[in-house]
Amino acid sequence: MLNGIGVSKGYGIGRVVIVKEAVATFTPKTNCDVEVERKRFNDAVSEFIASNTARAEKVTASVGEKEGEIILGHIMMIQDPYICSEIEKSIDEGNCAELAVETVCNTFIEMFSSVDDEFTKQRAADVRDIKTEMLNILTGTQTVDLSLLEKGAVLVASELTPSMTACINKENVVGIITELGSKTSHAAILARAMEIPAVLSVPNAVDILKDDELVVVNGMDGEVIKNPNTEEQAHYLQKRLDYIAEKNALASFIGQDTKTADGTKVDLFGNIGTPKDAEKVASYDGEGVGLFRTEFLFMDRSSAPNENEQFEAYKQALLIMKGKQVIIRTLDIGGDKEIPYMGLEKEENAFLGFRAIRYCLNNPEFYKVQLKAIVRASAYGNLAVMVPLVTGVEELRAVKEMIAEIKAELDEQSIPYDKDLKVGVMIETPAASLIADILAKEADFFSIGTNDLTGYTLAVDRGNANVEYLYSTYAPSVIRSIKHIITEAKSAGIPVGMCGEAAADPLMIPLLISFGLDEYSVTATSILSTRKEIARWTKEEADKVAETVLQLDTEKKIVSELKRIVLN
């Protein structure tokens, strides 16, 4: 088995087709006729533009507009004034067009590759693609035509260039394997858009795999199985069918309400880390955003983002969600993250230390900037604020007081905001769970953060391999805590959601339905599967599961019982 990075989901079984990029060879010439070489270069650029324009149109029509833009990007790069003037300069020195193109492109490839930024690094692949194509045009080298591949082909190449990917007929290609590339390379984006399983970054794939041999491409786990035996073939064929059936079944849940089998409607939201992620939530039919982590705004930079910058980011997410609720969690960060300008010291026990709301309330000037940006953004949609790591009601009161002050200031300046802005608590500490009744009197909503709640309840550091085995949301203690939080919220009449991984867990869902959870917030790609799982249960069935589970005394028993009932 060969390992790589699974960048496009699904399973493909087919015959290997090794694609070797035609290598244009040329003899570097100096002392050339400048006029002749300039004309050759300009003609090649014209040809490049013409063929790529046609290609971009084809990709836009068959794959999508964003994917077509990748090809248009190449057209723009070859016309770039800087790149052109550098190439012309080289030609003026007497170099032949091929040599000029190669030298200048190599400079850019090196420049992009050396930048410590994944996206910029990937642009080196674009320039390599442009260089190869320009040299092919200049030397008249014939290129491989991937549109001619036969049905059931698994493409194997050193690197899949965007221009190669663009020619693929998605009906005939069942898998893609390359030696280079990562999740963010254009080839990966195109493979996902065409829904072809792909595993990239498989070392020496071109040498190890042989033309026409059978191969399995497991895009889920990033695995490639060379020469699968009959058993393996049957196994992956079944997986492939299951995957396709699952995908089609999920597609039927698009546009449906999220409700239990007996018709109780609940909210199904998505978790996001950047405003742009909201588009993904919307595309998976999420009904809102249950957790907008704001940390990204503060990371990888030299000073804190100002109010306007934050305001724009929050507003952008709200506009994308078009009036659906967006719950913004204020900064949740501590000494385990390096953010130099915040002056956080490395702590022995960062997760029990100076972090999240504790840091924010101790730095009110800093925190106020974020709160003000949030309150201002509330004018542009249905926004709610969520306070992380609360352990006492004083913290919630302090935040509400700050928000009241901000509102008064905005009133004076006649700046609009949502007068009914909701302020809720993220319940993720045992303390908050135990005083859920107290908090519920003053919070507008609860959201249970199961990841941290589990860690804090069981006193387990997830990153410590010696104790990691204790970390489980199915522990009787954690399940009781979740039940307690939901019950207290219900009796106080406030909505309660969950934004941890447990909300999308098929084993947990019957329990959450039984306890009465109002809102499930999950990663965008889990939205439809969660909707499907919720639709499986009636309240009565879910109650039976919960009743059984609450009588069991160990995590092991609970897991095996849940598996028995749910995965039967």
CB nearer other proteins, residue 197 or residue 305 = 305
The answer to whether the beta carbons of residues 281 and 270 sit under 8 Å apart is yes
Residue 340 as a binder of other proteins (CB under 8 A): the answer is no
Closest CA to 336 of 297, 290, 299, 310: 299
Residue 16 as a binder of other proteins (CB under 8 A): the answer is no
The contacts of residue 498 (CB under 8 Å, 6+ apart) are: 290, 447, 448, 450, 482, 512, 517, 519, 520, 521
**Minimum CB–partner distance for residue 107 and other proteins (Å):** 10
The footprint of other proteins on residues 407-436 (CB under 8 A) is none
**Minimum CB–partner distance for residue 462 and other proteins (Å):** 28
Binding mask 453-472 for other proteins (x = CB under 8 A): --------------------
Neighbours of 498 (CB within 10 A): 30
The contacts of residue 474 (CB under 8 Å, 6+ apart) are: 507, 508, 555, 558, 559, 562
Closest CA to 134 of 166, 168, 109, 100: 100
Residue 9 as a binder of other proteins (CB under 8 A): the answer is no
Of these, 61, 76, 245, 467, which contacts other proteins (CB under 8 A)? 76
Separation of CA 192 from chain center: 13
Neighbours of 394 (CB within 10 A): 10
**Minimum CB–partner distance for residue 116 and other proteins (Å):** 8
The footprint of other proteins on residues 462-521 (CB under 8 A) is none
**Minimum CB–partner distance for residue 189 and other proteins (Å):** 11
**Minimum CB–partner distance for residue 126 and other proteins (Å):** 8
Residue 81 as a binder of other proteins (CB under 8 A): the answer is yes
CB nearer other proteins, residue 60 or residue 548 = 60
CB nearer other proteins, residue 341 or residue 354 = 341
User: How many residues are present in the chain?
Assistant: 568
Of these, 41, 112, 445, 474, which contacts other proteins (CB under 8 A)? 112
Among this protein's residues, is 105 annotated catalytic? no
Q: Exposed/middle/buried for 356, CB within 10 Å: 0-12, 13-18, 19+?
A: buried
Of these, 23, 50, 54, 115, which contacts other proteins (CB under 8 A)? 115
What is the C-alpha to C-alpha distance for residues 188 and 95, in angstroms, rounded to an integer? Answer: 36
CB nearer other proteins, residue 108 or residue 253 = 108
The footprint of other proteins on residues 147-166 (CB under 8 A) is none
The contacts of residue 203 (CB under 8 Å, 6+ apart) are: 2, 4, 179
Residue 376 as a binder of other proteins (CB under 8 A): the answer is no
Query: Which residue stretch of 131-139, 282-290, 297-305, 430-438 sits at the interface with other proteins (rule: CB under 8 A)?
Result: 297-305
Neighbours of 110 (CB within 10 A): 11
CB nearer other proteins, residue 298 or residue 520 = 298
CB nearer other proteins, residue 61 or residue 111 = 111
**Minimum CB–partner distance for residue 287 and other proteins (Å):** 23
Q: In which region does residue 285 sit, left (phi positive, over 0), alpha (psi from -120 to 50) or beta (all else)? A: left
Catalytic residue, from 96, 105, 186, 360: name it. 186
Q: How far is CA 202 from CA 22, 177, 274, in A?
A: 21, 7, 30
Residue 312 as a binder of other proteins (CB under 8 A): the answer is yes
Residue 82 as a binder of other proteins (CB under 8 A): the answer is yes
Closest CA to 430 of 394, 464, 455: 455
Of these, 29, 210, 265, 301, which contacts other proteins (CB under 8 A)? 301
Residue 123 as a binder of other proteins (CB under 8 A): the answer is yes
Strand-pair category, 214-218 with 11-19:
antiparallel
Of these, 219, 305, 334, 455, which contacts other proteins (CB under 8 A)? 305
**Minimum CB–partner distance for residue 225 and other proteins (Å):** 34
Among this protein's residues, is 499 annotated catalytic? yes
Q: Residues in contact with other proteins, total (CB under 8 A)?
A: 33
Query: Which residue stretch of 153-161, 299-307, 338-346, 348-356 sits at the interface with other proteins (rule: CB under 8 A)?
Result: 299-307
Closest CA to 136 of 117, 164, 178, 166: 164
SS3 302: coil
Closest CA to 280 of 522, 517, 520, 502: 522
**Minimum CB–partner distance for residue 312 and other proteins (Å):** 4
Backbone angles phi, psi at 433, to 5 degrees: -65, -45
CB nearer other proteins, residue 71 or residue 562 = 71
Closest CA to 512 of 447, 436, 415: 447
The footprint of other proteins on residues 246-285 (CB under 8 A) is 274-276
Residue 77 as a binder of other proteins (CB under 8 A): the answer is yes
Buried b (16+ CB within 10 A) or exposed e, 319-351: ebbeebbbbbbbbbbbbeeebeebebeeeeebb
Query: Which residue stretch of 141-149, 250-258, 309-317, 500-508 sits at the interface with other proteins (rule: CB under 8 A)?
Result: 309-317
Residue 111 as a binder of other proteins (CB under 8 A): the answer is yes
Could you list the residues that contact other proteins (CB under 8 A)?
69-70, 72-73, 76-77, 80-83, 108, 111-112, 115, 117, 119-120, 123, 126, 274-276, 296-297, 300-301, 305-306, 308-309, 312-313, 316
Among all residues, which ones are annotated catalytic? Answer: 186, 499
